[in-house]
């Protein structure tokens, strides 16, 4: 596209944003929904630029890693409108900066639509001709202090990065970092400059879907801050097969030298390069890089200045030493200056060189090394945090504090038990101020703040306060309305999952949630939030505060909802099982559908990004939640009836025979233990992370050996029954990992081929199983109502307990009324589920109290 001709004379634009169409039909953006060519992107940018109007206006863009947000951003740069980028996941920052700068247009997502909220036809501000972009300084999310960047800054920085990374038009870079962050934005800019493609996604590197997208898109580069590399270690990045990966870049904070060396060696072995980089928002993004060939021998160095830039060392009196002092940078990417109010938007250049605040030395080999900070600023998880500002903010809330931080954590020391706010509230205030995740903020309550002999705070002592402090109780769902919504959700998670370590960055699966607790949690969340986003169980709590789906509508006074297919199948299946056993009707096959659902939920809730040991602990907890209440009920029945023996109580009849009605419980338990044993092998754990679809598909093929009795096995014999039905569990697991239509078709083909003939002479039963498994593969949600969801949720959440107890309920009532026997069986199971959950919760609380008491006695 060409720059719009109707703008005011003298309006400037960013060349790479204007020249998108020159790259023709090359792929510009790749998302999970498919590719977008440069020609298509240019058309959309041009149309949006025309919508932005002929007069220059200040545009506040609520940024996200989506094509819509990118189009608005590029349209503004091409048409000369200054853009203020604000994180889309931080509503307080949006409100704060909207109040502070009174933008002329606010661009944001509204449900499934993208909205340009035009607040006035012409700008209320004086906008300097050079002003192109406004970014928050690292860590100052929501602060009125912004970095003013020019069109030349953006173009020069993109050209510099493209040069030293040797970005080619065949490259495809994963945009793993948020667009409002200067590092993430520079990845987008530098690749669009060269006609390369950007893989645009909001998925975390811990999500298997991210790697599926990266491989499908033939990704060539990956970027991350130090925390990203922690996550890469966790998901087994070293063992991944990424044949097109050319290089990995790291910035946003210091990566420990030993890890730089390790990743450099990893790259050499796999055929990709590691670029360690150094930058600040005030320099548009990057000032230095370490050539990949030096990463193994000089891992502690920041490197050399980027093309077009230069460094000098300004001596400091309190940092003696030859070639040591504050690092000062000069280059075309140095900002125009800061803005602290709307009047500053009319300023031109007020800064010619950038005093970084970092203390550095120039080594004999010409590389620069960072050795400290002039001020107390800390860079935590890539965000630059001003502890003094945090202290001032807390002082306004009546809290006396001292703060200090390192690369991973901000320690907030407060005196006594704050009167105005509690420990949880202190953490919430700090995270809202800094944009840090709650896990990176540690609140320590001290009798007195540590002081030096001079009376000044002893910040070194504060940094050493690494001992965890018990958190204040988290409010439950009945808390007062003044309690923030985020805290309420934390309380809900803490109560339903019986955890005392819930933070805003916790997720359902990360806290060990499984299929038994999933239903109850989803019902409570729907009441609190309306319709839930897909994959809510993998999202951190802070993201659930802004569900991507629109609120549930009402029709004829009823709230319209959706019901997840796996929950619907569990609810229907348990009713079919009980009703068929009582002969109220005769629709068999429900138990075998539940085996597929069990495999599906195993993949969703247990095969998370957690490390191998945590995965195994979570599987163990789920197995215990099946075995303990089942054994307890059977043991009670052994005492009061003659229907069972010790083999049944110990859940061994599937192995020792003769088989009884509890075969489903036993088989499910055995399969969980078997796959846990398999994934306990480190190599198999890495294989599952690397091949999330292929591994269960292989297990499915192995399970078909038992299905077809190729070695004399028969599903009507008792030894071993699990071998003949394991393929159903593996099929559900594979269905959960099927990310493409082709993969789902393959799984569905197995259903249509393997189910017929499995139940000899029972075509109706086979039809039920085929229908249930096909729905599980293809349908994620069903249209529903809140009332229907509640009934289905209770039945699904209690299905295990109903299955265990109904054998001892219906014989006393079926002769009188089969319908009454069915209803009574369901109600008794539901009651037993509530009792078992309450007993388990009290036992865990008592166990924690005993452990705490023991620790206290040992400490004394």
Interval 622-632: pLDDT, tens: 899 899 999 99
Interval 370-383: pLDDT, tens: 887 676 667 777 67
Whole-number pLDDT of residue 577: 93
**Least trusted range by pLDDT, from 34-38, 71-75, 272-276, 792-796:** 792-796
Whole-number pLDDT of residue 487: 36
Candidate ranges 315-329, 543-557, 767-781; pick with highest mean pLDDT = 767-781
Residue 748 to residues 52, 563, 596, 607, 688: CA-CA distances in angstroms? 48, 22, 12, 22, 21
Interval 783-823: pLDDT, tens: 888 788 889 989 998 999 999 999 899 988 988 999 999 99
Interval 53-75: pLDDT, tens: 889 999 999 999 999 999 999 99
Q: Hey, what CATH topology would domain 15-372 get? A: Rossmann fold (3.40.50)
3-state DSSP helix/strand/coil % of the chain, to nearest 5: 50, 15, 35
Whole-number pLDDT of residue 547: 43
Residue 523 has pLDDT above 90, yes or no: no
- Say if CB 19 and CB 158 are below 8 A apart: no
Whole-number pLDDT of residue 414: 87
Delimiting residues of CATH 3.40.50.12780 domain(s) in the chain: 15-372
Residue 109 has pLDDT above 80, yes or no: yes
Of residues 284 and 543, more confidently modeled: 284
Which residue matches tokens 């320690």? 411
Sheet bearing 172-175, strands edge to edge: 34-37, 27-31, 197-200, 172-175, 221-224, 247-250, 273-278, 288-290, 304-305
CA distance 665 to 344: 69
Delimiting residues of CATH 1.10.1200.10 domain(s) in the chain: 485-551
Whole-number pLDDT of residue 460: 65
Whole-number pLDDT of residue 516: 67
Whole-number pLDDT of residue 111: 75
Helix (H, G, I), strand (E, B) or coil at 514: coil
Candidate ranges 416-430, 509-523, 690-704; pick with highest mean pLDDT = 690-704
pLDDT exceeding 70 applies to what percent of the chain? Answer: 85
Residue 7 has pLDDT above 60, yes or no: no
Tell me if the bond preceding 822 is cis, omega within 30° of 0.
Answer: no
Whole-number pLDDT of residue 36: 96
Whole-number pLDDT of residue 27: 97
Whole-number pLDDT of residue 376: 64
- Say if CB 602 and CB 738 are below 8 A apart: no
Of residues 421 and 539, more confidently modeled: 539
Q: Which DSSP state fits 473?
A: P
Residue 667 has pLDDT above 80, yes or no: yes
CA distance 738 to 732: 10
Residue 710 has pLDDT above 60, yes or no: yes
Residue 826 has pLDDT above 80, yes or no: yes
**Least trusted range by pLDDT, from 223-237, 472-486, 646-660:** 472-486
CA distance 392 to 101: 23
Residue 149 has pLDDT above 90, yes or no: yes
pLDDT (mean) for 71-93: 92
Whole-number pLDDT of residue 294: 96
Whole-number pLDDT of residue 451: 62
- Say if CB 232 and CB 207 are below 8 A apart: no
Residue 127 has pLDDT above 80, yes or no: yes
pTM as predicted:
0.53
Residue 662 has pLDDT above 50, yes or no: yes
Of residues 850 and 404, more confidently modeled: 404
Residue 453 has pLDDT above 60, yes or no: no
| Class of 378-463 in CATH | alpha beta
- Say if CB 359 and CB 319 are below 8 A apart: yes
pLDDT exceeding 90 applies to what percent of the chain? Answer: 50
Give the mean pLDDT of the chain. 84
Whole-number pLDDT of residue 46: 94
Tell me if the bond preceding 669 is cis, omega within 30° of 0.
Answer: no
What's domain 485-551's superfamily in CATH?
A: ACP-like (1.10.1200.10)
- Say which residues have a Cβ less than 8 Å from residue 609's Cβ, sequence separation at least 6: 204, 206, 207, 231, 234, 235
- Say if CB 668 and CB 598 are below 8 A apart: yes
Whole-number pLDDT of residue 597: 95
Whole-number pLDDT of residue 647: 83
């Amino acid at each position: 596209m060409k720059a719009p001709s109707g703008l005011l004379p003298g309006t400037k634009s960013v060349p790479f944003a204007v020249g998108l169409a020159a790259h023709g039909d090359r792929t510009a953006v790749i998302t999970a929904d498919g590719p977008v060519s440069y020609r298509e992107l240019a058309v959309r940018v041009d149309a949006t630029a025309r919508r932005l109007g002929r007069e220059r206006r200040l545009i506040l863009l609520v940024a996200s890693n989506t094509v819509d947000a990118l189009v608005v951003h590029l349209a503004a740069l091409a048409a000369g409108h200054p853009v203020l980028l604000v994180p889309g996941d931080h509503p307080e920052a949006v409100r704060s900066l909207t109040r502070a700068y009174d933008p002329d247009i606010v661009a944001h997502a509204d449900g499934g639509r993208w909205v340009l909220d035009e607040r006035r036809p012409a700008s209320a501000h004086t906008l300097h001709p050079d002003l192109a972009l406004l970014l928050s300084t690292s860590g100052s999310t929501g602060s009125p202090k912004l970095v003013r960047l020019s069109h030349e800054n953006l173009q020069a920085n993109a050209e510099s990065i493209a040069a030293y990374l040797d970005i080619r038009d065949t490259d495809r870079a994963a945009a793993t970092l948020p667009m409002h962050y200067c590092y993430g934005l520079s990845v987008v800019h530098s690749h669009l400059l060269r006609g390369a493609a950007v893989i645009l996604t909001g998925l975390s590197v811990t999500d298997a879907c991210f790697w599926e997208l990266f491989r499908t898109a033939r990704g060539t580069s990956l970027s991350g801050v130090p925390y990203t590399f922690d996550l890469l270690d966790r998901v087994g990045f070293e063992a991944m097969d990424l044949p097109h990966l050319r290089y990995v870049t790291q910035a946003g904070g210091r990566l420990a030298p030993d890890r730089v060396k390790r990743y450099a060696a990893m790259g050499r072995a796999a055929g990709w390069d590691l670029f360690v980089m150094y930058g600040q928002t005030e320099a548009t993004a990057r000032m230095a890089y370490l050539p990949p060939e030096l990463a193994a021998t000089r891992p502690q160095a920041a490197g050399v200045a980027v093309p077009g830039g230069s460094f000098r060392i300004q001596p400091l009196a309190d940092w003696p030493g030859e070639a040591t002092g504050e690092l000062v940078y000069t280059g075309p990417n140095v900002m125009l200056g800061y803005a602290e109010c709307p009047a500053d938007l009319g300023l031109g250049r007020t800064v010619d060189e950038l005093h970084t605040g970092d203390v550095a030395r120039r080594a004999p080999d010409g590389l620069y090394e960072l050795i400290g900070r002039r001020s107390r600023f800390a860079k935590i998880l890539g965000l630059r945090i001003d502890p003094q500002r945090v202290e001032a903010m807390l002082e306004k809330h009546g809290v006396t504090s001292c703060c200090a931080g390192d690369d991973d954590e901000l320690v907030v020391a407060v005196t006594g038990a704050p009167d105005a706010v509690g420990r949880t509230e202190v953490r919430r205030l700090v995270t809202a101020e800094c944009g840090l995740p709650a896990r990176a903020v540690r609140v320590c309550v001290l009798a007195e703040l540590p002081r030096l002999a001079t009376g000044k705070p002893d910040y070194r002592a504060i940094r050493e306060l690494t001992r965890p402090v018990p958190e204040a109780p988290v409010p439950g769902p009945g808390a007062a309305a003044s309690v923030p919504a985020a805290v309420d959700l934390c309380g809900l998670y803490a109560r339903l999952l019986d955890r005392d370590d819930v933070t805003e960055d916790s997720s359902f699966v990360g806290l060990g949630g499984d299929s038994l607790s999933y239903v109850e949690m989803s019902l409570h969340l729907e009441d609190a939030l309306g319709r839930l986003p897909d994959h809510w169980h993998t999202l951190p709590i802070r993201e659930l505060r802004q569900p991507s789906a629109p609120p549930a509508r009402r029709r004829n006074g009823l709230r319209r909802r959706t019901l997840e297919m796996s929950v619907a199948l569990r609810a229907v299946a348990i009713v079919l099982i009980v009703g068929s056993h009582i002969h109220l009707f005769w629709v068999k096959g429900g138990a075998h559908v539940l085996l597929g659902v069990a495999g599906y939920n195993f993949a969703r809730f247990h095969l998370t990004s957690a490390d191998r040991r945590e995965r195994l602990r979570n599987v163990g907890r789920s197995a215990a939640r099946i075995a303990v209440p089942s054994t307890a009920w059977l043991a009670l029945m052994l005492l009061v009836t003659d229907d069972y023996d010790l083999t049944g109580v110990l859940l061994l009849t599937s192995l020792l025979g003769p088989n009884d009605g509890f075969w489903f419980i036993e088989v499910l338990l055995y399969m969980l233990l078997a796959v846990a044993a398999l994934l306990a092998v480190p190599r198999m754990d890495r294989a599952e992370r690397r091949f999330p679809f292929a591994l269960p598909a292989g297990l499915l093929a192995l399970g078909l050996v038992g299905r077809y009795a190729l070695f004399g096995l028969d599903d009507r014999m008792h030894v071993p029954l699990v071998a003949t039905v394991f393929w159903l569990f593996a099929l559900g697991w594979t269905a959960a990992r099927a990310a493409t239509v082709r993969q789902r078709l393959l799984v569905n083909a197995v259903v249509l081929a393997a189910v017929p003939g499995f139940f000899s002479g029972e075509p109706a039963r086979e039809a039920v199983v085929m229908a249930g498994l096909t729905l599980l593969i293809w349908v994620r949600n069903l249209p529903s109502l809140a009332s229907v969801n509640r009934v289905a949720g209770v039945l699904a959440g209690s299905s295990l307990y109903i299955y265990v107890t109904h054998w001892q309920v219906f014989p006393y009532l079926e002769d009188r009324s089969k319908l009454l026997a069915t209803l009574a069986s369901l109600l008794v199971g539901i009651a037993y589920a509530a009792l078992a959950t309450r007993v388990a919760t009290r036992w865990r609380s008592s166990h924690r109290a005993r452990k705490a008491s023991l620790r206290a006695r040992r400490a004394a």
